[in-house]
Amino acid sequence: MRAAVAGPIVLVGAGNMGGAMLSGWLGSGRDGSSIIVLDPSPSEAIKAKLAEKGASSYAVAPDGMIAGILFLAVKPQMMDTVLPTVARLVGPQTVVVSVAAGTTLASLSKHLGDAAMVRAMPNTPAMIGRGITGAYGNARVTDEQRGQVTDLLKVSGPVEWVSSEADIDAVTAVSGSGPAYVFYLVECMAEAGRKLGLPADLAMRLARETVSGAGELMRRSPDDAAQLRKNVTSPGGTTAAALSVLMADEGMQPLFDTALAAARKRAEELGS
Ligand SMILES: NC(=O)c1ccc[n+]([C@@H]2O[C@H](COP(=O)([O-])OP(=O)(O)OC[C@H]3O[C@@H](n4cnc5c(N)ncnc54)[C@H](OP(=O)(O)O)[C@@H]3O)[C@@H](O)[C@H]2O)c1
């Protein structure tokens, strides 16, 4: 049963992430008339989707409108420009949701006041309904609003609520930025295959299908990642030879520790 929202869902910014969320909302049977998009230049695809489902879009919000959920999906660097223009949409019943990396609740409050607010961090597989979102809500967010926000976010995959705002920067480092690490893994595997003498395009096909197939296997299997790895590693075999390099003291773990620490630091800098 979907939790009722006190007013329209107002999406500010219908780009990559906002557009993906919007597609999920409209595709999951949500009433189009309950959704308002604010974007100065929505794409033709977004305009067609809105028209088909009876949802409206404006460059600037009509006078007197108060949002039930104000969903902010503009770039972090646009926030100081956009927030003053949408502050009047926030009423006592409104919950504000921001997906902007690094934008803190304190910085949102400067423009939007002491509102119920959620910081959420989705990732790009949201575009195919296969994302995962970390979310943190301030003390003003009621259980009912948390349910409403979970309903909105879960169209793109599971929603994990964290207990401190600082954890959102760590979520950003793991899953928000994570798809890029996986794509880079494919690039590295393909390049290593090319160096072993395979044609570059064949090496890329092998790497790409291996990573996506292994991901799908992991999704469907009850086993955790470590068990799945052990399942394909015969003692003394080829996989064991490669893993002895990747799992060495100077192998992938310290590299990932450093990389994710850099991502979290950058998220903290964006929020300061
Ligand atoms: N993409 C990701 O992987 C990802 C993951 C997690 C979180 N996020 C967060 O999602 C947010 C959006 O990222 P994105 O990749 O979707 O960016 P994007 O594609 O550039 O989308 C932003 C949208 O906001 C529009 N916009 C610009 N000024 C506006 C205004 N004054 N009022 C309303 N809309 C305005 C932009 O229009 P124009 O194109 O015409 O400027 C664009 O359609 C960011 O804060 C990012 O941190 C993104």
Domains and CATH numbers, the chain: 9-165 (3.40.50.720), 178-270 (1.10.3730.10)
**Cα-to-centroid distance, 79 and ligand 1 (Å):** 10
77-86 contacts: CB < 8 A, separation 24 or more?
Answer: 78/13, 79/103, 79/107, 79/108, 79/111, 80/111, 82/12, 82/13, 83/108, 83/110, 83/111, 83/112, 84/111, 85/60, 85/61, 86/10, 86/12, 86/38, 86/61, 86/112
Atom of ligand 1 nearest to the CA of 17: 16
Q: Whose CA is nearest to atom 18 of ligand 1?
A: 15
Which residues in the chain show pLDDT less than 50?
Answer: none
Amino acid 271: pLDDT = 75
pTM: 0.91
Q: Whose CA is nearest to atom 38 of ligand 1?
A: 41
**Cα-to-centroid distance, 77 and ligand 1 (Å):** 10
Amino acid 2: pLDDT = 61
Protein residues with CB under 6 Å of any ligand 1 atom:
12-18, 38-41, 73-76, 78, 82, 99-101, 121-124, 176
Atom of ligand 1 nearest to the CA of 81: 31
Q: Whose CA is nearest to atom 39 of ligand 1?
A: 15
